[in-house]
Amino acid sequence: MRSLVILISGRGSNMQALLEANLPVDKITVISNNPEASGLGIARQHGIDTIVIDHRSYPDRETFDAALAERIDACQPKLIALAGFMRILSENFVLRYEGRLMNVHPSLLPAFTGLNTHARALQEGIKIHGCTVHFVTPKLDHGPIVIQAAIPILPDDTKKTLAARVLQQEHHIYPQAIRWFMQHQLSLSNNCVVIRGTSINDVVLHSPGLQE
């Protein structure tokens, strides 16, 4: 069975994009570490089963991760998707699901790992920003990259406007990455993701644009 587990901590906008993407899956379960996550209500509105595992009920990260893994395993997922899951997972947990744990990150990795990516991008004065879907490995935000989307940083961009435009692209590329995975189009070669049956976009993005 092609089962998908989605982990969330908050509003779950990427989760909602996945739920509305008509993915080739047989069952979806949403799990949150936050009982107050607004994404839980959205999932229930879509008829999706939800589970809450409050991390504050556990004495440490390893104990929480063990409880989380137990509930995930009961769902027998083909893939686990992190969608705004604001917990750093232990190495044992990540290795348990190696090759089956995916995340979307709001930068063009390997640039700007971690938090506050949009503020850091603006501070550094870069011209092109974006988002990345990647497999999760023990080293934070350094797993094999599946797909990326790039956008120009506009002269009047703020953290808020830049985040909103990047999020739009996250909603496009995350469902695509999961669709490829579920359709067995992904494979790993020397830590690089190979995608079968797709074409490479050879359009060059210049920011600012070149003059004639």
Query: Is there a catalytic annotation at residue 105?
Result: yes
Could you say which of 105, 129, 134, 171 is catalytic? Answer: 105
DSSP 8-state secondary structure symbol assigned to residue 208: S
The predicted pLDDT at position 188 comes to: 85
Find, among 149, 181, 146, the residue nearest to 167 by Cα.
Answer: 149
**pLDDT the model gives residue 60:** 94
- What residue segments make up the domains of the chain, in order of their start? 1-97, 104-198
Tell me: pLDDT of 164 over 80. Answer: yes
Tens digit of each residue's pLDDT (9 = 90 or more) over 19-73: 999 999 999 999 999 999 999 999 999 999 999 999 999 999 999 999 999 999 9
Q: What is the DSSP string of 10-71?
A: S--HHHHHHHTTT-S-SEEEEEES-TT-HHHHHHHHTT-EEEE--GGGSSSHHHHHHHHHHH
Instruction: Give the CATH H-level superfamily of domain 104-198.
Output: Formyl transferase, N-terminal domain (3.40.50.170)
CA 24 to chain centre: 18
- Amino acid 186: pLDDT: 94
Return the sign of the alpha-carbon dihedral for residues 163, 165, 166, 170.
Answer: positive
Q: What is the pLDDT of residues 94-146, one digit of tens each?
A: 999 999 999 999 999 999 999 999 999 999 999 999 999 999 999 999 999 99
- Cβ–Cβ < 8 Å for 191, 98: no
C-alpha distances out from residue 159 to 17, 128, 149, 150, 151, Å: 22, 14, 18, 16, 14
Q: Do 1-97 and 104-198 agree at the fold level?
A: yes
Give the angle subtended at the CA of 21 by the CAs of 15 and 23, to the nearest 5°. 100
Dihedral over Cα of 44, 49, 55, 56: its sign: positive
Q: CATH for 1-97, among 3.40.50.170, 3.30.1490.20, 1.10.150.20, 1.20.1630.10? A: 3.40.50.170
**Cα–Cα separations (whole angstroms), residue 108 to 29, 117, 118:** 28, 10, 11
Does residue 212 have a pLDDT over 80? no
